[in-house]
Structure 1
Amino acid sequence: MKYAYFRLPIFVRMLLVGFSFILLFGGLIHAAEPNTYRTLFDGIWWAIVTAATVGYGDFVPKTMLGKFLGIALILFGTGFISAYFAALSASAISRENALLHGNVAYTKEGHVVVVGWNERVRELLKQLTAAHPSFTFVIVDATLDVLPVSYNQVHFIKGNPTYDSILQKANVAKAKMIVITADQHKNELDADMASILTLLSAKGINPDIYAIIEILTTQQVNNAKLAGADEIIQTNQLSSFSIINSLQSPGISPLIEQLLYRLGENCFQFLDPPDELVGQTMAESSRILLNQQILLIGIIREGVPFMNPSPLFTIQQSDRLFVLKHH
């Protein structure tokens, strides 16, 4: 308690000193000229107006002692008030710079941590901030000095995401999801190893966080699973899939791209089967869902995907429906 005052921020201490000057001189002028300053509040009002250099002139010292008090307040009190506002401005600018350069820890919860900065992350933010204004993101990257985009829902942390201290600044412990993208400045193997190390660090801090990781090499997929990845996105396989389908059916890639891109109009989702679909065939379920502008693509049963199964495939209560839903 003895040193609690000195632990306060400088602008708070200066504010306390300034208020002390106001109260002191307000009380002194009230005692020195009780006929002019009939109440303590009158004295405090005069002290504030004088120290702020406003000078309304509604209260003016009449005696020599009162005038000396006015001089003392102007010399000392005004300096403290000016210094306080200067310190307050400097503190605000300093915090704004720290926030801009990724040096301020994130304290809220329920956010999505995104590791790495690249065009994939830029597109992710562009679409999700527009489609889901309630989502909040924390971008963690060691290569950026300033985040090149500005969204109200996005916070930037500069640093190596494999360090626990950096992930703690991103408040991974209170985040609901983490998306780990491949480092574009490394070769594929090194990028995958760095991603898996980041995943291990994140899971060490928050074992329940839902982790989506981008893996570039097939050899590291199993390691990512062992590290606790909930979803693995194999970017190179997705690119290869698009190229193969374009070679087999020229012109198909723009359709695939449009289908995946138009998040605002269509989106892939998992749905629990409504009671009316339990026991129905794939063909009958597709017909019912189409009337609701929902395209049934596949079924997830006990973790095993069945894409475009037989029309006679029967839906069970425990299944999850993989659909394309029109908003």
Structure 2
Amino acid sequence: MPNRFYIRFLHLPLLLRILLIALFVFLSFGILIHLLEPATFPTIFDGIWWSIITASTVGYGDYVPHSTWGRLAATVLILLGAGFVSSYFATLATAAVTRQDALSAGRIAFKGHGHTIIIGWNERSRELIHKLVRFGAQNIVLVDETLEANPVQSRFVHFIQGKPHMDETILKSNIDEAEKVLITADRGNDELQADMNSILTLLTIKGLCPSVKCIVEILTAEQVINAKRAGADEVIQSNKLTSVFMVNSLHSNGDGLLSDFVQPLQENRLSLQEAEDSFVGMPFKKVLGILFEKGELLIGLKRGEELIVHPSHSNLIEKGDKFLILK
């Protein structure tokens, strides 16, 4: 039986073991000094108080042993207890520093819920994280294998270092409790290879948690269908978006009209909302006016897989339609 307790004791964290030994020393010498000098230390509590003050080298002087045996016990307590007290605080400081280093280096798993996971560190994810933090997002998990430390100085951003296509890394992000996942493309690789890595990461995430919403950045048009087959809820073709800007710049003689239009979108949000039953059968123009009075700008409809931007004002809203709204 004693051997079993000893083995369990050895399996306790070092900090807890030192604390238990220190408490045992305080308790033992507190009882001992009470037995040696009951007149000076009327209660066991007085003895424990004296042992803690003596071992910590504070020495208030409110209780002082007068007998030879009492002073001998005090000497042993100072030599023994002060060592455990110093070890405890040294271990406590070391543990705090070690945990902080591990947190910064991305070795600590995330324990929160309802968070957004961003895969890959680049200029796009950097800008996105800054905007999310500014908009009040408080649970962001950044996963990247190239970084050695958290690049964002914010208590709302938790960093995890590791390969995103490995189960071990994704599980550290608490994927089961996540709200959304954004997989950004690694533009440092060949475009096809970058898409393959993104799809592999997507397969890993969907294999662990099929219900989580995944948004994937794809660079090549040929891999869009594969991303959807892998379970992507939304695919962002960033190269296609870039080409739209380039074509607009060429046709507009450099007046930056599209850039000026997109700029306000950085401070507003596009959202897709289910059309309420009360809107079914109404013309688009009437719904546009109703939503405009609520401070929402209706700019299009999604009907099935078709996205209709600025439809005809006489277009009737059908059941199952979704509104593309700018807030």
Q: Same fold (TM over 0.5)?
A: yes
Amino acid at match of 1:272: E
Amino acid at match of 2:96: A
Structure 2: how far apart are the matches of 1:299 and 1:81?
A: 69
Using the TM superposition, give the Cα deviation of residue 26 of structure 1 relative to its aligned residue in structure 2, in angstroms: 0.3
Using the TM superposition, give the Cα deviation of residue 15 of structure 1 relative to its aligned residue in structure 2, in angstroms: 0.3
1:77 to 76, 81, 105: 81
Structure 1, gaps ≥5 residues long = none
2:232 to 205, 229, 232: 229
Tell me if the contact between 1:51 and 1:77 (Cα under 8 Å) persists in the aligned partners: yes
Amino acid at match of 2:107: N
Instruction: Report matched runs for 1:73-112 at 5 Å.
Output: 73-112=77-116
Structure 1: how far apart are the matches of 2:319 and 2:28?
A: 76
Tell me if the contact between 1:280 and 1:314 (Cα under 8 Å) persists in the aligned partners: yes
What is the Cα-based RMSD across aligned positions, in Å?
1.4
Q: How many residues are aligned here?
A: 321
Amino acid at match of 2:175: V
Tell me if the contact between 1:22 and 1:44 (Cα under 8 Å) persists in the aligned partners: yes
Structure 2: how far apart are the matches of 1:237 and 1:44?
A: 74
Q: Report the counterpart of residue 212 of structure 2 in structure 1.
A: 209
Structure 2, gaps ≥5 residues long = none
Percent of matched pairs sharing the same residue: 44
Structure 1: how far apart are the matches of 2:64 and 2:110?
A: 51
Task: Say whether residues 1:279 and 2:284 are aligned partners.
Answer: no
Using the TM superposition, give the Cα deviation of residue 149 of structure 1 relative to its aligned residue in structure 2, in angstroms: 1.5
SS state of the match for residue 322, structure 1?
Answer: strand
Structure 1: how far apart are the matches of 2:273 and 2:208?
A: 31
Using the TM superposition, give the Cα deviation of residue 224 of structure 1 relative to its aligned residue in structure 2, in angstroms: 0.3
Structure 2: how far apart are the matches of 1:273 and 1:176?
A: 23
Instruction: Report matched runs for 1:120-159 at 5 Å.
Output: 120-133=124-137, 135-159=138-162
Q: Report the counterpart of residue 57 of structure 1 in structure 2.
A: 61
Q: Report the counterpart of residue 301 of structure 1 in structure 2.
A: 303
Using the TM superposition, give the Cα deviation of residue 48 of structure 1 relative to its aligned residue in structure 2, in angstroms: 0.6
Tell me if the contact between 2:298 and 2:325 (Cα under 8 Å) persists in the aligned partners: yes
1:30 to 27, 34, 55: 34
Task: Say whether residues 1:241 and 2:229 are aligned partners.
Answer: no
1:321 to 300, 303, 323: 323
Q: CA offsets per residue over residues 172-227 of structure 1, 9 Å max, x none?
A: 22212111000132111111000000000011110111000000000110110110
Amino acid at match of 1:246: S
SS state of the match for residue 191, structure 1?
Answer: helix
Greater displacement, 142-151 / 271-280: 271-280
Task: Say whether residues 1:255 and 2:260 are aligned partners.
Answer: yes
Q: CA offsets per residue over residues 223-254 of structure 1, 9 Å max, x none?
A: 10110000000000010111112222342132
Q: Report the counterpart of residue 25 of structure 2 in structure 1.
A: 21
Q: CA offsets per residue over residues 288-307 of structure 1, 9 Å max, x none?
A: 22222221111112343222
2:122 to 118, 121, 124: 118
SS state of the match for residue 269, structure 2?
Answer: strand
Amino acid at match of 1:45: W
Amino acid at match of 2:8: A
State TM-score, norm by structure 1.
Answer: 0.95
Tell me if the contact between 1:243 and 1:253 (Cα under 8 Å) persists in the aligned partners: no
Q: Report the counterpart of residue 174 of structure 1 in structure 2.
A: 177
